Amino acid sequence: MIKLAGTKVISKFILRRDRISILIWIGSFALLTAYVALMFPTLYPTDIKVKEIVETLSNPAMIAMLGPYYGATDYVNYGAVYAAEMLILVALTVATMNILLVTRHTRNDEEEGRLEVIRSLPVGKTTVLFSTLSVYVIVNTLIGLFVGVVLILTGDTSFGWNGSLLYGAGLTVTGIYFAAVTGLFAQLNQTSRGTSGYAFGFLGIMYLLRAIGDINSETLSLISPLGLITRTKPYVSNSWWPILIVLIEAIIIAYIAIRLNVIRDLNASFIPVKPGRKSASKLLVSPLGLAFRNQKSAIIAWAIGVMVLGISYGSVLGDIETFISGNEMYEKMLSVIGGTASFLERFMVMLSAVIAMVGAIPVIQMIIKLRYEEKHNHIEHLLGRAVSRRQLIMNYVTLAVIISIIMSLSGTLGLYMAGAQVTESPLVFGDMMIASFAYLPAIWVFVALTVMLLGFIPSAIKLIWLYLGFTFVSVYLGGILGLPDWVVKLTPFGYVQKIPVESYNVVSSIVLVIISVVLIYVGNAKYRTRDLAG
Amino acid sequence: MSMLKVENLTKKFGKFTALDQINIELEKGEVFGFIGPNGAGKTTTIRSILGILKATEGQISVFGQDAWKDAVEIHKRVAFVPGDVSLWPNLTGGEVIDLFVKLRGSSSESKREKLIKSFDLDPKKKCRAYSKGNRQKVALVAALACEADLYILDEPTSGLDPLMETVFQSSIKELKAAGKTIFLSSHILSEVEKLCDRVAIIREGKIIETGSLKELRHLMRNQVVIETTKPVTDAKGLMGIYDYSEDNLVYSFQMDPQQLSTIANHFDKFNIVNFESVPPTLEDLFMHHYKNGGGIEND
């Protein structure tokens, strides 16, 4: 029997705990929607521009990423372009929000023992799950409504009220669907990590099904809620039936979750907890193996992320010449690269730099992890045994260098794979790799600076992010902001050749490597003589 | 050669003096108890011995080698259990034990299995699922599974239940029988009392007493209860009697052990039918120090 005593109190309690994050989420969705909708006419000022973007949207790489474009190809329909560009990405974000927040109120509370306290009160067995889902039905409805109304208010005449509300409703049902899915996985898994992990995995599969389906088979797309909501075709034919289907599916999933919740014990799960390894593998039992093991998932996630970044940049390369010429912002951005090179070549320079800077994040994180280990009393386990500090720090530096190479490879590979599909001018993978590898010494200087911080002012190690942020601004936005040339020379990235516009010069690489080695040596020397927190 | 020698160790964190002129010496085969309240400097001392903290002043040598410079060499012969065991949440207990054992170099599979069994540990669980006591067990199994010459244990039983404490104590007794040297920090005094040959008491960064339990007990008064058939006269004024009280031929007081024969002779005149004398526990000793801000009360 489903028991729901106390639903009102618990729902209020959930709202109270989440009120700030709910407000931030709803506000961000509304603001983002308003900003993009207002920007739209300036982004594509002429009819020709819209036609170009329509062509871009019709290439397979873009369809796989964003879903099909249903609007007219012979006249301007900003609404249809907007829906094609934004709906899937925003829906993914809405799904993410629901997965995180629903996990928090279901399995996470149960795992931490908070649910036990609530259940000891006069509260029904299923109340918490039911209240969580109810609250998030309301939150998702609000998001859909706000977004819809904002679109009506900020869009041009092509943003009709029916299409706008339909677009919002697409987000609402996606949110409710993934709230229910997370509720279901919370019954199946014993940990909150497992719950959100399975839910994100499921989201990934639904996205992939839609991507493959949108290119090859309509049926596959209709299995995925993400595929279904694009079939509403907002601002084109405005069909409401997919909304209904997703909603019915969500209700069925939620019902199954609630039934499973009724029949299980507190802290129990339907997927049995796999016992872990009884003894360690050979790979683990060294400081290097341990450091790798602890960062493995992060490294894989970043490698995928950087590759997706490369793919998404690569997929727009085909139309880059026409896209950039006439767009003041992009022309300014690329002006720093200068020369007489084509826009494609100059854009490639920028892309190598962006991939290098984003790829530097997990590299720096590796060194910062050593500080984290120290703060969490993990280091004493190692140093209390036959491990020296030099060995420890060099292991982390080695891994950081390996990660920098992995990121460079995966980003460039993504860029090449997508780019080769859409450009007529042939891209040479080898040249692209040289352009990307040229940035490695600059990334290593960041590694070295982080080691210096670790040695000299460990409590301020995160200052390195500020420097990376400065690098990003000066390299990526320097042209737009009109910064003088010397500013970019304040970061190691300013000393890397702009390949393919400039040719590779080994001297600057050697100088950067020497700087890195010296700084690592000095930082290491200091690290070996300072007190450790644990 | 002493296994561990700490000479005039002073450790300052900025202006704060965490350790002030600490002296400790351990001979081979000795079980040494290091007791003191929280924040007294026990963990700081141990981290200095392990070369994780650098001494501001003074010398620390382990096996005759410098604790700071030769840390790695020394640690090949040291087994260590930290006070607050924090582990990697994504690894299982078994994996962590293997890692720790391997990092020291030597290992014994059968010993590992035996310890896991006697400490009743599930090695297949991830560390994030372990309670404090279970994390402690992981560290203990890893340390005890090693063949080491010196065992440094920082409050090793603080999360264990009484049953597991017994297992721990018998493990320590086995090590002692095998002639190993053990440095045991604790604030569980009964444990130190049961296991240790010698004790040092640390308070606010200073060692306020060192010696064998026997030596330290000399400083303490026994709690005595005597029952006689005839009423005792003039007992209260005797040398070495404190906190005297009498209740219907039952006399209880604290006694300076050095005055035992005088006191016993006096009471014997009144026909003793019952005599109980309880030696001071380490708790008494410790409370005594703690109450008086260091130093033995001399009244």
Q: Is residue A177 part of a domain?
A: yes
What is the structure's pLDDT at B287?
67
CB–CB of A523/A455 below 8 Å?
yes
What is the structure's pLDDT at A339?
62
CB–CB of A410/A303 below 8 Å?
yes
What is the structure's pLDDT at B295?
44
What is the full DSSP assignment across chain B?
A: --SEEEEEEEEEETTEEEEEEEEEEE-TT-EEEEE--TTSSHHHHHHHHTTSS--SEEEEEETTEETTTTHHHHHTTEEEE-SS----TTSBHHHHHHHHHHHHS---HHHHHHHHHHTT--TTSBGGG--HHHHHHHHHHHHHTS--SEEEEESTTTT--HHHHHHHHHHHHHHHHTT-EEEEEES-HHHHHHH-SEEEEEETTEEEEEEEHHHHHHTSPEEEEEEESS---S-TTSTTEEEEEEETTEEEEEE-GGGHHHHHHHHHTT-EEEEEEEPPPHHHHHHHHHHHTSS----
Q: Do A279 and B98 touch (CB under 8 A)?
A: yes
Q: Do A280 and B80 touch (CB under 8 A)?
A: no
Q: Do B82 and A384 touch (CB under 8 A)?
A: yes
What is the structure's pLDDT at B239?
83
Kindly state whether residues A373 and A332 are assigned to the same domain: yes
Q: What is the pLDDT of residues B227-284, one digit of tens each?
A: 999 888 888 788 888 888 888 889 988 888 778 888 888 888 888 999 998 877 666 7
Q: Do B76 and A290 touch (CB under 8 A)?
A: no
Q: Which pTM value belongs to this model?
A: 0.76
Kindly state whether residues A515 and A370 are assigned to the same domain: yes
Which residues, including other chains, have CB under 8 Å from residue B237's CB and lie 6 or more apart? none
Which residues, including other chains, have CB under 8 Å from residue A392's CB and lie 6 or more apart? A287, A370, A379, A382, A383
With beta carbons under 8 A apart, name residues in chain B contacting A386: 72-73, 75-76, 103-105
Whether pLDDT at B102 is above 60 = yes
Question: d(Cα B39, Cα B43) in Å, to the nearest integer?
Answer: 8
Give residue A396's identity as a one-letter amino acid code.
Y
3-state DSSP call for residue A327? coil
Question: d(Cα B247, Cα B270) in Å, to the nearest integer?
Answer: 15
Residues of chain A with pLDDT under 70: 1, 45-49, 322-329, 336, 338-340, 534
Q: Is residue A46 part of a domain?
A: no
Domain boundary among A263, A279, A310: A263
CB contacts < 8 A, A to B, total 107
What is the structure's pLDDT at A278?
85
Q: Is residue A442 part of a domain?
A: yes
Kindly state whether residues A443 and A302 are assigned to the same domain: yes
3-state DSSP call for residue A461? coil
Question: d(Cα A246, Cα A229) in Å, to the nearest integer?
Answer: 8
Spell A218-239 as b/e; 16+ CB within 10 A means b.
Answer: eebbbbbbbbbbbbbbbbbeee
Point out the residue among A285, A388, A531 whose CB comes nearest to the CB of B72.
A388
Kindly state whether residues A402 and A301 are assigned to the same domain: yes
Token couple for A387: 């491990």
Strands B150-154 and B78-81: parallel
Q: Do B86 and A376 touch (CB under 8 A)?
A: yes
Virtual CA dihedral for B116, B119, B122, B128, nearest 10 degrees?
A: -110
How many residues are recorded in chain B? 299
Query: Looking at chain B, which residues constitute the CATH 3.30.70 domain(s)?
Result: 221-278
Which residue does chain A place closest to B48, by CA atoms?
Answer: A531
Kindly state whether residues A427 and A300 are assigned to the same domain: yes
Q: Is residue A325 part of a domain?
A: yes
Point out the residue among A278, A287, A294 whose CB comes nearest to the CB of B88.
A294
Whether pLDDT at B294 is above 60 = no
Distances in Å between the Cα of A99 and the Cα atoms of A105, A242, B113, B290 are: 10, 22, 41, 54
Name the minimum distance, in Å, from the CA of A523 to any CA of chain B. 17
Kindly state whether residues A340 and A428 are assigned to the same domain: yes
How many residues are recorded in chain A? 534
**Residue B202 β-bridge partners:** B207
Q: Is residue A427 part of a domain?
A: yes
- Asked if the peptide bond before residue A45 counts as cis, ω within 30 degrees of 0, the response is no
Question: d(Cα B299, Cα A87) in Å, to the nearest integer?
Answer: 86
Query: Angle at Cα B207 formed by Cα B201 and Cα B210, nearest 5°?
Result: 60
Question: d(Cα B257, Cα B217) in Å, to the nearest integer?
Answer: 9
Kindly state whether residues A254 and A298 are assigned to the same domain: no
What is the structure's pLDDT at B299?
39
Q: Which CATH class is domain B4-213?
A: alpha beta
Whether pLDDT at B293 is above 70 = no
What is the structure's pLDDT at A180?
98
Give residue A292's identity as a one-letter amino acid code.
F
**Residue B207 β-bridge partners:** B202
- First vs last Cα of chain B: how many Å apart? 40
With beta carbons under 8 A apart, name residues in chain B contacting A108: none
Q: Do B124 and A277 touch (CB under 8 A)?
A: yes
Question: d(Cα B137, Cα B139) in Å, to the nearest integer?
Answer: 5
Q: Is residue A91 part of a domain?
A: yes
Kindly state whether residues A122 and A234 are assigned to the same domain: yes
Whether pLDDT at B89 is above 70 = yes
What is the structure's pLDDT at A338?
64
Q: Is residue A71 part of a domain?
A: no
**Residue B252 β-bridge partners:** B225, B245
Question: d(Cα A154, Cα B54) in Å, to the nearest integer?
Answer: 64
What is the structure's pLDDT at B189?
72
Residues of the domain holding A155: 7-39+87-263
Which residues, including other chains, have CB under 8 Å from residue A447's CB and lie 6 or more apart? A363, A364, A367, A397, A400, A401, A404, A516, A520
- Report the run of H or E that residue A264 belongs to, with start and end: none
What is the structure's pLDDT at B297?
43
Strands B150-154 and B181-186: parallel
Q: What is the pLDDT of residues A3-47, one digit of tens each?
A: 788 899 999 999 999 999 999 999 999 999 998 898 887 777 666
Point out the residue among A280, A384, A386 whose CB comes nearest to the CB of B98.
A280
Query: Looking at chain B, which residues constitute the CATH 3.40.50.300 domain(s)?
Result: 4-213
- First vs last Cα of chain A: how many Å apart? 52
What is the structure's pLDDT at B169?
92
Mean pLDDT of the B61-75 span:
92
Distances in Å between the Cα of B193 and the Cα atoms of B169, B185, B292 are: 11, 12, 22
| Statement: B221-278 belongs to CATH 3.30.70 | yes
Kindly state whether residues A436 and A298 are assigned to the same domain: yes
With beta carbons under 8 A apart, name residues in chain A contacting B82: 377, 380-381, 384, 534
**For residue B7, which phi and psi values (nearest 5 degrees)?**
-120, 120
Q: Which of B211, B201, B180 lies closest to B30 in space, CA to CA?
A: B180
Token couple for B56: 């501001």
Question: d(Cα A170, Cα B60) in Å, to the nearest integer?
Answer: 70
Kindly state whether residues A100 and A144 are assigned to the same domain: yes
Provide the CB-side half-sphere exposure for B56 (13 A, CA): 15
Whether pLDDT at B296 is above 70 = no
With beta carbons under 8 A apart, name residues in chain B contacting A392: none
Which residue does chain B place closest to A534, by CA atoms?
Answer: B52
Q: What is the pLDDT of residues B183-210, one digit of tens each?
A: 999 877 777 878 899 989 888 899 988 8
**For residue B179, which phi and psi values (nearest 5 degrees)?**
80, 20
Q: Do B95 and A280 touch (CB under 8 A)?
A: yes
Q: How many domains does chain A have?
A: 2
Whether pLDDT at B286 is above 80 = no
Residues of A at the B interface, defined by Cβ within 8 angstroms = 275-281, 284-287, 290, 293-294, 376-388, 529-532, 534
Q: What is the pLDDT of residues A482-526, one digit of tens each?
A: 788 898 899 999 999 988 888 888 999 999 999 999 999 999 999
